[in-house]
Structure 1
Amino acid sequence: MRLCSLLILTFFTTMSCKNTGPSAEDQKMAQLDPVQTEAVDGYERAYFASGCFWCVEAVFESVKGVKEAVSGYSGGTIKNPTYKQVSYGKTNHAEAVAVFYDPKVISFRNLVLVFFGSQDPTTLNRQGPDRGRQYRSIAFYQNSDQKKIIEDIIAELNETVYDDQIVTQVLPFQKFWQAEGYHQNYERNNPKDPYIQGVSIPRLNRFKKQFPELLKDNAH
């Protein structure tokens, strides 16, 4: 069960991260050149963080053109991070997903819209009941075109929806570390988990209601 499950929400509310702004490590990473990944069998990769990776993985896997989403860690510099290290805030990594997608079916821009449309990008270091920098919102870019797409969408949403309150970080992608095997497809494999019932499924359903045109046929 997640360390930030509903059963121990009160504990994590009192233990929320004290450093509410970008860390020194964030600031250093923001100055790095992005790493461009190569397509695999025609599928490109995009990387996002917006809270519980169980939730984010399920959202992206419901989208047309997405082959799969893989849960993992990104945004920090520690090599081979573990779930225990990340969950306890021992690293600067955030829970993240790698999205394998067919650019002929869905564009990077639409993936960014999915990213913003499936979270609250105005809650600093928090998403739903999960609190701490490991749950912060990050859109990773691999080149200048992706960075511009992300920044343009943020500007548009700040003007039309969020009144300049978006706190999502925009960082150059460096490295993605795949999470332990039991985290992969967790929502699908553990439908009776209290966290899945109380947080992940409602979050997925809210996204489906907002973006029905982007859903795979079997995701409706």
Structure 2
Amino acid sequence: MIRLFKLFPVLSLALILFSCDAISQKKSDVRKVKLVAPKGKAIAAFAEGCFWCSEHIFESVVGIDSAISGYAGGNVPNPTYDLVNTETTGHAETVLVYYNPQIISYAELCKIFFASHDPTTPNQQGPDRGSSYRSILFYNGPTEKAIAEQAVKDISTSGRFKKAIVTKLKPLTEFYRAEEYHQDYIEHNPNQGYVKAVSMPRFELFKKTYKGRLR
């Protein structure tokens, strides 16, 4: 007879290794988002692993109105979650951030980006592996490109990471809003295994690392 306590380490490991790409509701309501910010606002996009946690992190910062989970950086129109997870579309899980530039700058958003994930692991973030989890700083125009380049230089020379930064810089040309069940996933599913084992520890680490204003 197998005693239950012997199963606990196995169950715990399963929760930790349970990746963001293991869930699909086989329903596609993906749509392309116009990259136009409301009056007085601005937009920016970041890919840094599973978008559930990225969305939660960015929305915790003062000056950010909202964040949308979705897909960017690929070459296939109308990508679905299942298709992106085949790692054949070129897309990365990405968050589109709507923010108030009078309160927070794009340069500060880049600091949030580097404070909220490990930019030294190519095609991986935590237990999630594949090109859809790669680290990408998206930019709009030459000014933001220069800011993004400086942000990479700053983090590379900061001494925070021992390994080389693998973050890529790409222009933001298209963004697809992910299926509705992905939006505000942590808020709606706080007790889900991956959220408890991976997302929330990552969020707690961010709060200790980031020096800016949180809600």
TM-score class, shorter-chain normalisation, is 0.7 to 0.9
Q: Percent identity?
A: 45
Cα deviation for residue 88 of structure 1 reads: 2.2
Q: Is the 8 A contact 2:64 2:100 kept in 1?
A: yes
Q: Deviations over 1:48-69 (max 9, x none)?
A: 0000000100000000011100
Q: Aligned ranges for residues 11-160 of structure 1 at < 5 Å?
A: 37-160=35-158
Cα deviation for residue 179 of structure 1 reads: 0.1
Larger radius of gyration between Structure 1 and Structure 2: 2
Q: Deviations over 1:38-96 (max 9, x none)?
A: 32132211000000000100000000011100000000011110000112213110000
Distance 1:112 1:7, change over 3 A: closer
Q: Deviations over 1:145-181 (max 9, x none)?
A: 1111111111121112235700000001110000000
TM-score by length of 2: 0.82
Distance 1:164 1:146, change over 3 A: farther
Counterpart check, 1:194 vs 2:199: no
- What is the identity, as a one-letter code, of the residue corresponding to 1:129? P
- What is the identity, as a one-letter code, of the residue corresponding to 1:139? L
C-alpha distance in structure 1 between counterparts of 2:211 and 2:162, whole Å? 26
CA RMSD of superposed structures (Å): 1.9
Q: Is the 8 A contact 2:18 2:193 kept in 1?
A: no
Counterpart check, 1:207 vs 2:206: yes
Cα deviation for residue 122 of structure 1 reads: 0.4
Q: Is the 8 A contact 2:55 2:67 kept in 1?
A: yes
Q: Is the 8 A contact 1:126 1:135 kept in 2?
A: yes
SS at match of 2:158: helix
Q: Is the 8 A contact 2:18 2:194 kept in 1?
A: no
User: What runs of 5+ residues in structure 1 fail to find an aligned partner?
Assistant: 13-35
User: What runs of 5+ residues in structure 2 fail to find an aligned partner?
Assistant: 1-13, 23-33
- What is the identity, as a one-letter code, of the residue corresponding to 1:49? A
Cα deviation for residue 211 of structure 1 reads: 2.1
- What is the identity, as a one-letter code, of the residue corresponding to 2:185? Y
> Who is 2:25 aligned against?
none
- What is the identity, as a one-letter code, of the residue corresponding to 1:213? G
Q: Is the 8 A contact 2:15 2:197 kept in 1?
A: no
C-alpha distance in structure 1 between counterparts of 2:167 and 2:59, whole Å? 22
Cα deviation for residue 6 of structure 1 reads: 3.5
Q: Is the 8 A contact 1:47 1:139 kept in 2?
A: yes
- What is the identity, as a one-letter code, of the residue corresponding to 2:51? F
Q: Which moved more, 1:151-160 or 1:186-195?
A: 151-160
